[in-house]
Every structure is written in C-alpha cells, then in structure tokens.
Amino acid sequence: MARTDPQVNLRIPAALKEKLEAASVANSRSITAEVVARLEASFEKGDAEGVVDFLLRETKHLSAKLDLVMNKLEGKTPPPGPEGVVEVIKRKR
C-alpha cells in the first residue's frame, strides 16, 4: 500500500485487534496488510474465481516466506527487505 492510499479510522473490540495483531505476525505482514487481505477475501467469497485467485496469492506469499526461511537456514542471504521477498516471488512465476 502506498502512502497515497486513503486512510480509514475505525474502532474495533480489543479482542479482535489482538487477533489481527497475532495473525499479522504469523503472516509476516503489517496489521494494515492483514486487514486488507482479509477484507479482500471477504469480498471475493461469493465469486469462486475470486477465491481461487486469493488463495493463489496467499500461497505465493507463504511460499516466498518459506523460501526466505529456508535460505536463511541454509546460510544463503537474499537481498534485504522487500526486495528479497519480491525476488523470491518473481522466481515462483
């Protein structure tokens, strides 16, 4: 998301915020990215093709994370930061 994207401020229950925080950590995303991914999925649920597209994006995301972890365990170092993730995702295509 770019800094030019619109902002939305909302109130949510503390327990829901804690769930979002835990999910964002588990998925290596910011809370904003986690909320956006979940909202996009909720709009795609009625559209089978949309659900498949969402699942493919999520699979690529998780696969890229796994590759980064495996590279780290094997002593290989991809470029730092988002560029490393982008490089791994591009290799998956």
Q: Which burial class, exposed, middle or buried, applies to 14 when counting CB atoms under 10 A from its CB (0-12, 13-18, 19+)?
A: exposed
Q: How is the chain split into domains, by residue range?
A: 13-44, 49-93
Residue 64 has pLDDT above 80, yes or no: yes
Mean pLDDT on 6-28: 90
Task: Provide the H-helix boundaries in the chain.
Answer: 14-26, 31-44, 48-73, 82-92
Give 7 or 84, the one with higher predicted confidence: 7
Residue 70 has pLDDT above 80, yes or no: yes
pLDDT tens by residue, 9-19 = 999 999 999 98
Residue 93 has pLDDT above 70, yes or no: no
